[in-house]
Amino acid sequence: MSDVLIVDDNIDIAEPLRQILEMEGHQVRMAGDGLEGLDSVEDAFPDIILLDVEMPSLSGPEMAKRLQVLNTGREKIPIVLLSATRDLRSIAGRVGTPYYLEKPYSIDRFLMVFQAALNDRIYPKPKEKAA
């Protein structure tokens, strides 16, 4: 069982994700914006963060940057960006995550990307040796 943090200001998006993940056996916490998300991470490090890009108070990319700046292990939490924002791939690159899903997405695609990010957290790939 993994501890999942969903940070999204749209309950119509966040609630179905919570239900799906709980049915898969995960423990899920929710936050309505980046500030609440940072508070939730401070309470307990999640295994993975599902992060919306555009939110009030503190956007997803701003929240991710704050996690990285603290440099206390929080920067190692895998992040999956979820958004209908244009150029999400570029935003994900700036955030430093290879995991992102453009809304709308299928449940199967969501679960595939979620599991890939979670597997990287649990079973990190060995670093390649320099030639």
Structural domains in the chain?
A: 3-122 (3.40.50.2300)
The model's pTM: 0.89
> How high does pLDDT run on average in the chain?
89
| 56 and 9 Cβ atoms separated by less than 8 Å | yes
Q: What is the pLDDT of residues 77-103, one digit of tens each?
A: 999 999 999 899 999 999 999 999 998
Tell whether the model's pLDDT for residue 125 goes beyond 50.
no
CA distances in angstroms from 47 to 22, 71, 78, 86, 114, listed in the order given: 14, 16, 7, 27, 11
Q: 64, 13, 10: which is closest to 34 by C-alpha?
A: 64
Q: What is the pLDDT of residues 41-76, one digit of tens each?
A: 999 999 999 999 999 889 999 999 998 886 566 778
